[in-house]
Amino acid sequence: MKIRSIELADISRYRGELMGLAIIFVILFHVGLPREDAFFGLKRMGNIGVDFFLFLSGMGLWFSWTKHPSLRMFYLRRFLRVYPTWLFMACLYYIPDFLNVNLTGHSGHSMNIIDLIGDITINWDFWMHNELTFWYIPAIMVFYLVSPFYMMLIAKNPIYRWTPVIMIMWCVVVEYITPLHEAVGHLEIFWSRAPIFFIGINIAEAVKRKETVGGSAIWMIVITFVIALSSCLFLEQEKHGQFPLFLERMLYIPLTFTSIILFNQVLRHTPKYINKILKVFGALSLELYLIHSHFVLDYLEQTDWSYWHKFVATTVISLIFAWLLQTVIKGIITPIENRIK
């Protein structure tokens, strides 16, 4: 039986659904579960959703840049997509935190007014102290900042597409070279996610050209997927807390790519309503990321509900607020976007 070729264009075709799957994985990751539960290892791997986000974002940025190679327009569009939503939610979290409002159940992130402003504007406690409340936002903003220069570089000198390999080496160096570890080791979660973002940029051209991979390659993809998945499951289920986290995130690199290829094959055959639901999640992924954990789940964790009840409740409540937030922000931002077109 001949196996059909793998179409790389499917990565772009199903980007919305894949982003939806990614945020579902992240929510699953954040819901608390006892270590002894059989689902613990798989649940702990839900943070691979972040790697999905970064890979797909890198690919999307290449499409955007090659269509309109203007630094001003590129930065303005990225800024308008993320920053207004971030600013609103950061104020909603950090100001009550600073004022020590008892209702929030958290305080002490911002020690003074300057610290508060830094947390709201650029989330600087992430960069200085590894404060992970909303770490993805400052990280992706830095990736946005440098990505046009990387794309210009690889356009002129394709050899620099190997840069992600150097980034992987850097992760090892930061973990084990003591002076570097003491200086920037607290940013491990940032360094270890950089390679997959730039790999996403690297593959975008092949996606745009609609290149295909021979169907026989599916076996290599499946084998790579199984090895990476089983290794990560073992690490999380049996060795949780006993290994440097960057090691697992290096395994996430092949696992992310192979998972996306395999999910694309599944999404070709899923009922249309499933794809539409996943696209809704994908379209609201930024808002869901900012809302679900600290504005919904933190309070549901105080109940004695089961893991799946908390997951479903968190997802439904967060979807409602995410839609409302996006609607409000779009009403403000859309006129601005129309003026700059």
- CB-based contact 236:248 (threshold 8 Å): yes
Q: What pLDDT is recorded for position 98?
A: 86
Q: What pLDDT is recorded for position 1?
A: 56
Residue-by-residue DSSP string for 2-49: PPPPEETHHHHHTHHHHHHHHHHHHHHHHS---TTSTTHHHHHGGGHH
Q: What pLDDT is recorded for position 34?
A: 93
For residues 224-228, give the mean pLDDT. 98
- CA-to-CA distance for 220 and 42, rounded, in angstroms? 23
pLDDT in tens, 151-168: 999 999 999 999 999 999
pLDDT band at 281 (very low <50, low <70, confident <90, very high): very high
Q: What pLDDT is recorded for position 274?
A: 97
For residues 94-114, give the mean pLDDT. 79
The single-letter code of the amino acid at 234 is F
pTM: 0.95
Nearest to 263 by CA among 297, 296, 222: 222
CA 222 vs CA 43, 226, 265, 337: distances in Å: 21, 6, 12, 43
